[in-house]
Amino acid sequence: MTDRKLNADAIRVLAMDAVQQANSGHPGAPMGMADIAEVLFNDFLSHNPNNPQWINRDRFVMSNGHGSMLPYAALHLSGYDLSIDDLKNFRQLHAKTPGHPEYGYTPGIETTTGPLGQGIANAVGMALSEKLLATQFNEQDLSVIDHHTYVFLGDGCLMEGISHEACSLAGTLKLGKLIAVYDDNNISIDGEVDGWFTDDTPGRFTAYGWHVVADVDGHDPEAIQAALNEARSVTDRPSIICAKTVIGSGAPNKAGSHDCHGAPLGVEEIQATREALDWQWDAFDIPQSVYDAWDAKDSGQQKEASWQSLFDRYQQQYPDKAAELLRRMNGELPANWSEKVSAYVKQVAEDAPQMATRKASKLALEGLGPMLPEFFGGSADLTPSNNTFWSGSKSINDGDFSGNYMSYGVREFAMCAIMNGMTLHGGLLPYGATFLMFSDYARNALRMAALMKIRSIFVFTHDSIGVGEDGPTHQPVEQTPTLRMIPNMSVWRPCDAVESVVAWQHAIENANGPTSLLFTRQNVQHQERSDQQIDNIHRGGYVLIDSAKTPELILIGTGSEVGIAAEATRRLQSAGHQVRLVSMPCAELFDAQDEEYRHQVLPPSCVKRIAIEAAQGDYWYKYVGLQGRVIGQNTFGESAPGNQLFAHFGFTTDAIVNQAEELLG
């Protein structure tokens, strides 16, 4: 038995034993890719188990995240803060080893994977970040940003459409430090994939513009090593290594079968596997010689120390750039950020512009963008409509990676997943845009951003039937409330330019999760506010127009409907009613306020309430209660000018006044 085989077999036995103990999991992929992982981690990966956040570490992503026991085993063996007891707790409550790799739980895990295809898209974002930051910060002989992104992926990742979106773009961008290893084992849960997946994968990636290393024996360490060396030598294109493997390699009766894909091997097969591998140790018992061979703590410390010496010279010669790089990698906002952005909000309030909030969003970018060199914008082929290209934007699509903007093409899902990878890499603050209707294409990437609690900013314009003539195929109805249903997602739907700038401010400052910014196509009215009301926008919901006495009716509006509700409020007040208008641009932020403030805005004593939003309305009953009403959009739209549709579907001052008078009796 060679030491190299023994070291790889350690992954196999840890994977099968952990899955067996949990009585849940996927042993096949870790066992099949064990030889590849052993070569990658021990011969190529530049990382430091003592500091998983080292800036210039190589990134490793397990896109086929059901094989989570592979990275867990490799990280444990390499010396990360991941004990054998943590492996024994695989898939158990509050364990550091969840069922699929999750960012923030396990040291060394770079992103949450499991929904197939997203890991490779995240990796594209990481590799793009490396290239952008290297262009911006490296100086001659002082390459402080210089690392690779490695990603494992399987048949399932390649079947998912997002892999096409992301890998096509990676080839166009020529991301030479992105190296993918395809686990070509011909098996998925349903069995042999020949009945549903017969793509010419090498040909497909050649067509994308990738460098392809085909027909590699995934169980031959020398062949794997040669393939990785070849991939690393090609710097003008991303590389994919097509490695032929046997799923469940080492299991004498179940290897090569879907029986070991998503279920424990079973006690008898595990014993047979130990005998077949000549593995002489009990479950979770790893010989010290294997730990010694895998241990990367000393070598990792040396690699980081060598880089730190380089960075020290960089700091001496380029102190401003070094400080800027560290600030950005630490996720810190620039000095005097709060004062500058507050001043800009007040300036916009004084100018009182009346415009579509998508244009107000660009106004926000014009004011805030110069303060944020880490901004990296983009749009899924809708830049002129999304208004995301501001005067300081510079496109990288011509190959100039000193820029800060990218046209992603019609790739909404990949755009959002690539943005997540960029956020996770650090050093950049990405925002990407499309129409709100097409958030459906990207929904799982939005969910992953929320699950990871990362600061990705998703811009969605054309937010209602106000889209107009494009008709119901392009008019969102259910999208706004379903975005609000995603835990950790902040959803802002501002009513005018002032709220739009504040929405951007909060998205930029929100370090605890992603933000969806929803903007109108049509013009909206500017709302006058006091300084206190401007401050209260930051609380997600606030009193925009108050009644002279205790309110007998409260109107609650968001987005373009606030202007209509404001007119209705004034008419009702003129008729002698005590009516209050509450603008609620971000319900999640309002809900996070203390009870005293929430009751000041929505006093429990006032039970007559009407919420107005041009979207499916059930969400709002939590604020209006059983005695209140919701004026919402509970059918699909129509093809007509937006103002006609608002009248047709009841989003008018008259309709609100009529509903209010009925409710007031």
**How far apart (Å, rounded) are the C-alpha atoms in residues 69 and 34?**
10
Residue in this structure with the two tokens 């981690």, named with its chain if needed: 41
Per the CB < 8 A criterion, the answer to whether 39 and 228 are in contact is: yes
Closest CA relative to residue 408, chosen from 440, 437, 376, 436: 376
- Where in 465-514 does DSSP place strands (E)? 490-492
Task: Give the pair of three-digit tokens for residue 152.
Answer: 């494992």
Does the annotation mark 412 as catalytic?
yes
**How far apart (Å, rounded) are the C-alpha atoms in residues 496 and 565?**
13
**How far apart (Å, rounded) are the C-alpha atoms in residues 388 and 158?**
31
Q: Which residue type sits at 614?
A: A
Helix axes of 412-425 and 118-137: crossing angle, nearest 10 degrees: 50
Q: Is 112 left (phi over 0), alpha (psi -120 to 50) or beta?
A: beta
**How far apart (Å, rounded) are the C-alpha atoms in residues 107 and 221?**
27
Q: How far is CA 205 from the centre of its chain?
A: 25
Pairing of strands 191-192, 187-188: antiparallel
Q: How crowded is the C-beta side of 434, counted as CA atoms within 13 Å?
A: 24
Helix or strand (DSSP H, E) at 13: helix 3-22
Residue in this structure with the two tokens 């956040």, named with its chain if needed: 53
**How far apart (Å, rounded) are the C-alpha atoms in residues 401 and 60?**
23
**How far apart (Å, rounded) are the C-alpha atoms in residues 370 and 402?**
15
| Residue 217, phi then psi, degrees to nearest 5 | -75, 110
Q: What is the largest distance, in Å, between two alpha-carbon atoms of the chain?
A: 91
Burial of 496 (0-12, 13-18, 19+ CB in 10 A): buried
Which of these is catalytic: 102, 304, 412, 552?
412
Q: State the catalytic residues.
A: 412
